[in-house]
Amino acid sequence: MANRLGPILLICTSLILSLGAYSVAAAQSPDNSPAQAATTVRSFFAFHFAHNKNFTVRNVQQRKRWLTPELYQLLLQELKLEAQESKAHPDEVPYFEGDPFTDSQDYPNSHRVGKVEINGESARVPVTLLWSTRTGRISDKRDIVVELTRGSSGWLIKDVVNKEGSRLSDQLKRQR
């Protein structure tokens, strides 16, 4: 009887270990659902609006976890170039005056995330930016689209497109 239990126990143990490894791998894989893409954008703007929105190296570094490496590098390169231009022409206004993530000089107070569109490894998330008066009434609103790509840890912001179709990444690659 003991000889028969050995192979059965070996098979059961292997099966349990296989299922355990599968569940760990499934738990570690990023959620690539539309809801997760929307959550990424919501959490980015919640952080962005709760902190200093000036276009500085420190502020871009604080937002790195939401950005693709390419967009992050473009933002840092722009800040480096603006610092050089500021030294050469201290009286001139920088190219990016205001907030590149909201495409505005006056910072919005809040935002709304719209319906997410997913196409393979990419997602487009419409965002309505809202400016409110002290009484809470909406005084202005503007629509942008946040484009995301799947990263190993989930969705990352690849680009921001304003209502005219101008891309943040293209502005960051501008000719000097």
Look up the pTM and report it: 0.79
Answer whether residue 15 is part of any domain: no
Q: What is the Cα–Cα distance from 51 to 147, expressed in whole angstroms?
A: 22
| Cα–Cα distances in angstroms (integers) from residue 65 to residues 26, 40, 68, in the given order | 22, 10, 8
CA distance 64 to 103: 18
Predicted confidence band of residue 26 (pLDDT cuts 50, 70, 90) = very low
3 occurs within a structural domain: no
Total tally of structural domains belonging to the chain: 1
Contact in structure between 74 and 169 (CB atoms under 8 Å): yes
Residue 40: burial class (beta carbons within 10 Å; 0-12, 13-18, 19+): buried
How far CA 24 is from CA of 20, 28, 146, 153, in Å, comes to 6, 6, 31, 15
Contact in structure between 50 and 111 (CB atoms under 8 Å): no
The verdict on residue 107 lying in a domain is yes
Q: What is the pLDDT of residues 84-140, one digit of tens each?
A: 888 888 887 777 788 999 989 889 999 999 999 999 999 999 999 999 887 778 889
Structural domain for 41, as ranges: 34-172
CATH number for the domain including 76? 3.10.450.50
24 in any annotated domain: no
